[in-house]
Structure 1
Amino acid sequence: MNAIYPDLRDSSVFVTGGGSGIGAALTEGFLRQGARVAFCQRRDGAAFADEMEAATGNRPLFLSCDLADIPALERTLADAAEAHGPIRTLVNNAGNDQRHTLEEADEAFWEWMIAINLKAYFFACRAVAPSMKARGGGSIVNLSSISYMMGNAGYPIYTTANAGINGMTRSLARELGPARVRVNTLTPGWVLTEKQLDKWATDEGLRDHAARMCLPDHLRPEDMVGGTLFLASEASRAMTGQALVIDGGVVVTG
């Protein structure tokens, strides 16, 4: 159950990694607002687009793209704008939290992790900024993670990238603000996607994490939708350069 934001209807929205996990929930959330949604990912998203059309009556546009290939990402964003009009909302959602240690991570792995988890975010912002400025405004929502706030071990390059996302968001909010382009970060806690449940969500790990939460319920992908819609809409028109944390109360900010 999410609020309806009339200004999102018929608006052009682009979600990276929008066919699975948190991204799939975000794509569906925007579709249910009546937005024109395009999403990209490496694997085929046609079946997901079919599912969303059946569920919402609004079909998303799937565009295949490897986010580590910046020219391909730029072409994909241009194709989405050609199909749906200039992108009003960019959601940088795609990421990879592959576990690794300091000793295991070589230079090639560093480059790959940063390319997906930070570099693609920056160049997606760069690609949409001119048209957002030309139309008199827009909203960029960068998904980060509380993992860097918690100082978690087990994926140091991932936490480095997430800290970088927060810094990039603040700087771009300052740079793009005069054109009424808003840039905010949505910062989830541990969201139990299928990938998390399959790979890393052990009973012990879930118990330990639950003990750090103020609220008793683990997070689901759909828990990220309301905050993202708010940041995309004119309801948050005076909000930029901020990090909206949705984590069940693990890190208490302020």
Structure 2
Amino acid sequence: MTDPARFPDLDGASVFVTGGGSGIGAAFSDGLMAQGAKVAFVQRSDAGDFCDEMERRHGTRPLFLPCDITDISALQAAIAHAAKAHGTIDVLVNNAANDKRHSTLEVDEAFWDWSQAINLKAYFFAAQAVLPGMREMGRGSIVNLSSISYMMGNAGYPAYTAANGAITALTRSLAREFGPDGIRVNALAPGWVFTQKQIDLWATEEGVAAHLARQCLPRMLKPEEMVEPLLFLASQASRAMTGQTLAVDGGVVVSG
């Protein structure tokens, strides 16, 4: 990013990011570290090279905790480890997701459960794990990554869109329940962001052209363009905002 906005309250903040070493999550970790945040993150695949890059760039190393987020006890243990290392979690970024394409008639119970475990269940239990500490501090910010896919009514991944719609509902309920404790809960809903995975697996010439035609800003969105919206929701700059879903999609969906 060029001349990113500064959010002073994130300097020194303890931040936990799921899926924080690749794709949009890697951009989040990078952007948060640039603010001075102490970043811990989990993912299944090795993130040693990414951590090396972050250390060269920022002079400090993120705390990488290998973890399959569908293993809830392991996820809870990773959050506890991060809190011990960096202090009580100030900001949780529920980012990890899997948008594997599928059709309704091919989905069996095992696939449905796998999709919900990654795309929804882990979000709930990560939030549950950080909430007691946030409540004790009297503050905290949880940012749940959703997607505009369910708002568009997209076909091609119904289990994923169902989870994303549920993330919005979960966000609203947690915001209502924990607002009196000073805890804010918002969702960030990216449009089609062209990570390397998206380019490799899903970005056909025809599909990209059709999607860009729906955007008010007809260009391919980059992972780093999601960072400042995330920082805004994570920081006190959005201190009067909770229970909301912020679409960052180039102008495909509208609200209000």
TM range (shorter): over 0.9
SS of equivalent residue, structure 1 residue 103? helix
1:23-34, aligned counterparts within 5 Å?
23-34=25-36
Contact 1:14 1:38 in 2 (8 A): yes
Is 1:136 matched with 2:138? yes
Separation in structure 2 between the aligned mates of residue 242 and residue 86 of structure 1, nearest angstrom: 24
Identity percentage of aligned residues: 65
Match of 2:178 among 176, 179, 184: 176
Residue of structure 1 equivalent to 2:250: 248
Alpha-carbon distance in 2 for matches of 1:245, 1:144: 9
**Pairing partner for 2:213 from 178, 202, 211:** 211
SS state at 1:238 partner: coil
Measured against aligned partners, the alpha-carbon deviations of 1:192-224 in whole angstroms (never above 9, x if no partner) come to 000000000000001000100001221110010
After TM superposition, the structure 1 stretch with the greater mean CA deviation from structure 2, 37-46 or 162-171, is: 37-46
- In the alignment, is residue 57 of structure 1 matched against residue 59 of structure 2? yes
- CA displacement 1:31-78 (0-9 Å, x = unmatched): 000000001000111111111111122311100000100000000000
Quote the offset at 1:103 in angstroms. 1.1
TM-score normalised to structure 1 length: 0.99
1:150 aligns with 2:152: yes
Residue equivalent to 1:114: 116
Q: Which runs of 5+ in 1 are unaligned?
A: none
User: Secondary structure of 1:39's partner?
Assistant: strand
Q: 1:12 and 2:14 equivalent?
A: yes
RMSD (Å) for aligned C-alpha atoms: 0.6
- Equivalenced residue count is 254
| Aligned-partner residue type, residue 136 of structure 1 | G
Q: Contact (CA 8 Å) 1:34, 1:58: kept in 2 or not?
A: no
Which runs of structure 1 show a deviation greater than 2 angstroms over 4 or more consecutive aligned residues? none
Shift of 1:89: 0.2
**In the alignment, which residue of structure 1 is the partner of 2:237?**
235
The whole-number CA distance in structure 2 between the counterparts of 1:57 and 1:193 is 25
Q: Which residue of 1 aligns with 2:92?
A: 90
Alpha-carbon distance in 2 for matches of 1:216, 1:150: 17
Amino acid across the alignment from 1:237: R
- Partners of 2:221 and 2:255 lie apart in 1 by 18
Residue identity matched to 1:164: A
Letter in 2 for 1:75: A
Question: Could you tell me which residue of structure 2 aligns to residue 40 of structure 1?
Answer: 42
The answer (yes or no) to whether the contact 1:32–1:58 under 8 Å persists in 2 is no
1:147-186 Cα deviation digits (max 9, x unpaired) = 0000000000000000000000000000010001000000
What amino acid sits opposite 2:134 in the alignment? M
TM-score by length of 2: 0.98
Tell whether the 8 Å contact from 1:19 to 1:27 is kept in structure 2 after alignment.
yes
Partner SS state of residue 106, structure 2: coil
Instruction: Please name the residue that 2:203 is paired with.
Output: 201
The CA deviation string for residues 90-140 of structure 1, in whole angstroms up to 9 with x for no partner, is: 000000000000111100000000000000000000000000000110000
Q: Tell me the amino acid that sits aligned with residue 121 of structure 2.
A: K
Which residue identity lines up with residue 72 of structure 1 in the other structure?
Answer: A
